[in-house]
Amino acid sequence: MREDLEISDTDKKGDMEFTEDKLNDDICPDDAPEVKRLNADVFGAVEVGKEGTWSSSKDIVARDNERRKTCNTQAKKSRRGNCSGSKNALPTVPVSNINPVGSGFILSGIPLPARSREPRPGVIFVFENASLVLAKVNKSYQIINPDEHAGFMKKHNLNRSDYRPDIIHEVLARLLGSRLNLTGGIQAVYVKTIQGHLIKIEPTLSIPRTLKRFCSMMTQLFQNLRIKASGRSKYQTLLQMIQNPVTIHLPVGAHKIGLSSTSPKAVNLWDYFDTIGSAHPLVFVIGAMAHGKIDSDYTDDFIAVSGLPLSASLCVRRICNALERRWRIL
């Protein structure tokens, strides 16, 4: 019985091998390339080399298994590897469909967005007379805030309108959160307090949302003279006290523009930017106080963006909107 069983298995194996060879000879003759391609589509064979040799689906599966084993071994070693032959592999883009442009690569057939050919000069903001006054309240130094230090201000006979840290807080939050700043349009921000202190603020600073946390940050700045970033950018200085006057920190040839509602020159910012051009950096000098005028000794031009008195926050909003529209920042 065992001999009969072995003979029958051998006969079956021989019949199967004979049938497969016969199929290859019948379906894939040398002089029928179209039939070869049909055989490749039906039976899963692929053409290898220039001579037209063919590999069966069994060989393909064996090579895929070996490739998967190799990829799994490499992935375990590197803990982050991936392979095109693995099941969870990401789809790869053929090299022929990739065109080098500059330092990166783009897919062929995908149009690039149109860029404005007009150069973008550096935009700098200077805020004058900011109400950031440090005082010793209840045995600790704090920025005077009328909402929290009403008793202290009444005791020392201080005017509430002269101590408004909420103005500069709102202005900085709007400016640093604008699309103009998020696209790298703002070069630097300077704040000059009513006591004459000059502060430089980096555009990458994230302004605290609440006024209390903002005053706490400014208190730390007055005590330590600088504030650095945390985490990976811990060596970057975000705020620092710098030397007066502000003109020594401005770029050479910058066009300095002062804003005031009392200026006789009321302009439309869209038309005004066309007249001054984009050859030089722009410096906007804005007052960050409730009432009063700014020092216009170092400004080249003095304009009004509206016929009505606007707050510093609204002036910043109008400037940012005009520049974003001019430079097509969406």
| pLDDT above 90 for 192 | yes
- Counting the structural domains of the chain, the total is 2
Assess if residue 106 is contained within a domain.
no
Please state, in angstroms and rounded to a whole number, the distance separating the CA atoms of residues 195 and 134.
10
Query: Do both 62 and 179 map to the same domain?
Result: no
Higher pLDDT, 324 or 82: 324
Which segments within the chain are labelled E, that is strand? Answer: 46-48, 53-55, 98-101, 104-107, 123-130, 134-137, 140-143, 186-193, 198-201, 226-228, 237-242, 255-259, 282-287, 301-303
pLDDT tens profile 84-140: 444 454 444 444 444 444 444 445 555 555 555 556 778 999 999 999 999 999 889
| pLDDT above 80 for 186 | yes
Q: pTM for the full model?
A: 0.64
Span 195-201, average pLDDT: 96
Assess if residue 110 is contained within a domain.
no
- 204 pLDDT band (50/70/90 cuts)? very high
> Which range of residues forms the domain containing residue 29?
2-90
Query: Do both 207 and 281 map to the same domain?
Result: yes
Query: Do both 148 and 86 map to the same domain?
Result: no
Assess if residue 104 is contained within a domain.
no
Query: Do both 57 and 166 map to the same domain?
Result: no
- 5 pLDDT band (50/70/90 cuts)? very low
Look at residues 301, 303, 256 and name the one whose alpha carbon lies nearest to residue 283: 256
Assess if residue 96 is contained within a domain.
no
Query: Do both 78 and 129 map to the same domain?
Result: no
Assess if residue 12 is contained within a domain.
yes
